[in-house]
């Protein structure tokens, strides 16, 4: 399955914590995870902070996390191509592709080449997901910044079977994250994480039961 996380911030930065939590949970189950960093911002410390504080030697779980970073659009495409062979070895249960559109928005790359490269990449990711029964999470921005960006986002949307959209809204003087899930059309506000909240609670209850609050103002 291809799953899109989209929200505000550079390349959907605000939605990264969901992928990090799913990565931690997958590693805790003893499975492997591949993370392709297309936004040049991966930080293993954020994964470690997501593990329960009572988990001993949680740093050792990072041995099950394989990270690749592409600094150019061609390096990024090559990393995705390598996944075809690597997934056969690792049998990973989760693949995270953070900022898959970032390199394709490079002004030094022509519009046709960017669309052509990304079409091949997204089709290959879908093939990998279908053939290996693995979940692939794509983290993107929800705000369109250019015509090329719009075309690339449409490619993602047309190939993903599910998505979680995040939008910041100002309610009673406080900023809250409104979440909308497709295809279930479930929506609500992200609950604040308390110090006593466990990892399972923070993820399983990420959608608040409050569906609508009058007078909410969207902010970017």
Domain boundaries, the chain: 2-165
Cβ–Cβ under 8 Å, residues 163 and 154: no
Q: What is the pLDDT along the chain (220 residues), one digit of tens a residue?
A: 999 999 988 888 889 999 999 999 999 999 999 999 988 888 888 998 888 888 888 888 899 999 998 888 999 999 999 999 999 999 999 999 999 999 899 999 999 999 999 999 999 999 999 999 899 999 999 889 899 999 999 999 999 999 999 998 888 778 888 999 999 999 888 766 544 445 544 444 443 333 333 333 444 4
pLDDT confidence of residue 97: 96
- pTM flag (> 0.75): yes
pLDDT confidence of residue 220: 40
Return the number of other C-beta atoms located less than 10 Å from residue 192's C-beta. 11
β-strand 94-98 against 162-171: which pairing, if any? Answer: unpaired
Cβ–Cβ under 8 Å, residues 41 and 13: yes
pLDDT confidence of residue 196: 42
> Which tokens hold the place of 54?
């009572």
> Which tokens hold the place of 194?
């308390």
Domain 2-165 has CATH 3.40.50.300: yes
Residue 64: name the closest of 24, 96, 98, 100 by CA: 24
Q: Is the peptide bond before 183 cis (omega within 30 degrees of 0)?
A: yes
């Amino acid at each position: 399955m291809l799953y899109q996380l989209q929200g505000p911030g550079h390349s959907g930065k605000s939605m990264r914590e969901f992928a990090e939590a799913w990565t931690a949970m997958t590693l805790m189950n003893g499975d492997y995870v591949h993370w392709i960093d297309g936004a040049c911002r991966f930080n293993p410390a954020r994964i470690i902070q997501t593990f329960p504080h009572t988990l001993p030697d949680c740093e050792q779980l990072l041995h099950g996390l394989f990270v690749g970073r592409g600094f150019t659009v061609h390096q990024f495409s090559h990393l995705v191509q390598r996944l075809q062979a690597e997934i056969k070895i690792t049998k990973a249960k989760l693949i995270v592709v953070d900022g898959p559109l970032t390199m394709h928005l490079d002004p030094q790359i022509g519009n046709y080449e960017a669309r052509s490269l990304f079409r091949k990449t997204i089709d290959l990711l879908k093939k990998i997901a279908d053939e290996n029964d693995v979940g692939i999470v794509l983290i993107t921005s929800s705000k369109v910044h250019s015509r090329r960006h719009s075309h690339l986002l449409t490619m993602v949307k047309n190939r993903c079977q599910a998505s979680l959209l995040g939008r910041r809204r100002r309610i009673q003087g406080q900023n809250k994250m409104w979440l909308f899930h497709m295809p279930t059309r479930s929506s609500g506000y992200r609950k604040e994480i308390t110090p006593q909240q466990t990892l399972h609670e923070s993820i399983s209850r990420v959608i608040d039961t409050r569906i609508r609050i009058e007078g909410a103002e969207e902010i970017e």
